[in-house]
Amino acid sequence: MWEEKQNKLVKVFIFRNFVEAFGFMTKVALLAEKMDHHPELHNTYNKVVISLSTHDEGDIITQKDRQLASSIDKLTGGSQ
Amino acid sequence: MWEEKQNKLVKVFIFRNFVEAFGFMTKVALLAEKMDHHPELHNTYNKVVISLSTHDEGDIITQKDRQLASSIDKLTGGSQ
Amino acid sequence: MWEEKQNKLVKVFIFRNFVEAFGFMTKVALLAEKMDHHPELHNTYNKVVISLSTHDEGDIITQKDRQLASSIDKLTGGSQ
Amino acid sequence: MWEEKQNKLVKVFIFRNFVEAFGFMTKVALLAEKMDHHPELHNTYNKVVISLSTHDEGDIITQKDRQLASSIDKLTGGSQ
């Protein structure tokens, strides 16, 4: 579940291990580069925290953030 | 299903798209580097072909190849 | 140097080790997904072979291939 | 330069763009998985912050952290 925290959309993803977590981060990186809209990524071992906001609009949540969040949720293993 | 072809263990993986295929390849890369046993990786868009053999033993299939194949099959999305 | 072989632009990249080779492949993957134009990638340990052609134009070399080749050459470590 | 902050070894890496930053993170991920010693990774666009400490020893800096820091510094593009 994405939560709104301090003008960001934030979601925590927990995986079986680091390999699964980093494979997921790579997929998120590919989606982000394609959209030219980059998240804040925070990883510790099997945990990935993604924070989304739109810098060019003054660090608020925009349609771009909701679109990237939705694409991330459609990744295989993305809803773990 | 892994097949034996010309002294290699070979398996073809088909994914929904390039993002899923490359995320999977990244996970395979992490497993391989950890084992210090590296596969031949071949990617075209949503297709990944992995070939395993042991160079140090004269390019034959060894226990190391079967072990890496088994680890790859346990990856999330790895049996697609 | 990119070479034209059987209607493909082909270049071989040699790296210090697998870690450097796969880091490079990840950067190529990000460029490719952004352009929505995907290469054929072939990796064995420290060696990466990239082949470019345009499927939608009948598997010939097009401007898209030359553009992706040029972007790949601008990557840090890409001309090794 | 790695700095000691709150019992962690911390270094900030700045890259030309996201593609270079994420390629670097992938190489760090491969080193970490091989050592079975995982850093805290924080990425925003072209910036990567790596924090190292040893959880199993009570979240202090150990030889393992210094070894991973040294391996990271030897990566191509790692000292940017």
Task: Count Cβ neighbours within 10 Å for each residue of C53-79 and write b for 16 or more, e otherwise.
Answer: bbeeeeeebeebbeebbebbeebbbbe
Give the confidence band of B78 by pLDDT, cuts at 50, 70, 90.
Answer: low
CA distance linking residue C54 with residue C43, whole number of Å: 21
CA distance linking residue A50 with residue A9, whole number of Å: 8
Which pLDDT tens digit goes with each residue over B12-71?
999 999 999 999 999 999 999 999 999 999 999 999 999 999 988 899 999 999 999 999
Which pLDDT tens digit goes with each residue over A20-79?
999 999 999 999 999 999 999 999 999 999 999 998 889 999 999 999 999 999 997 754
Give the confidence band of C56 by pLDDT, cuts at 50, 70, 90.
Answer: confident
Residue C18 lies inside a defined structural domain of this protein: yes
Give the confidence band of D76 by pLDDT, cuts at 50, 70, 90.
Answer: confident
The answer to whether residue D80 scores a pLDDT higher than 60 is no
pLDDT greater at residue D77 or residue A61: A61
3-state helix, strand, coil in chain D (%, to 5): 40, 30, 30
The answer to whether residue D77 scores a pLDDT higher than 90 is no
Please count the structural domains in chain B. Answer: 1
State which residues form the domain around C60.
3-73
Residue B79 lies inside a defined structural domain of this protein: no
Which of C18, C2, C53 has the alpha carbon at shortest distance from B55?
C18
Contact B31, B78 (CB under 8 A): no
Strand pairing report for D3-5 and C40-44? unpaired
Chain B residues near residue D34 by CB distance under 8 angstroms: 33-34, 36
Chain A contact for C30, CB < 8 A? yes
The pLDDT value recorded for residue C4 is 96
What is the ipTM for the molecules in this complex?
0.93
The pLDDT value recorded for residue C80 is 44
CA of B16: which chain A residue's CA is closest? A76
Q: CB A43 to CB D40 under 8 A?
A: yes
Q: What is the mean pLDDT of residues C2-16?
A: 96
Residue C79 lies inside a defined structural domain of this protein: no
The answer to whether residue C42 scores a pLDDT higher than 90 is yes
The pLDDT value recorded for residue C78 is 54
* Mean pLDDT for all residues in chain D: 94
Residue C78 lies inside a defined structural domain of this protein: no
Residue C58 lies inside a defined structural domain of this protein: yes
The pLDDT value recorded for residue B80 is 44
Residue A78 lies inside a defined structural domain of this protein: no
Residue D80 lies inside a defined structural domain of this protein: no
* CB contact set of B34 (below 8 Å; sequence gap of 6+): D33, D34, D36
Residue C57 lies inside a defined structural domain of this protein: yes
Mutation site, A22, A30, A37, interface C, largest C CB count within 10 A: A30
pLDDT greater at residue D59 or residue D28: D28
Chain A contact for B78, CB < 8 A? no
Half-sphere exposure of A16 (CA within 13 A, CB side): 9
- Whose structure tokens read 């072809």? B5
* Mean pLDDT for all residues in chain C: 94
pTM, to two decimals? 0.95
CA distance linking residue C28 with residue C15, whole number of Å: 14
Domain CATH code at residue B30: 3.30.1360.20
The answer to whether residue D16 scores a pLDDT higher than 70 is yes
CA distance linking residue B62 with residue A71, whole number of Å: 40
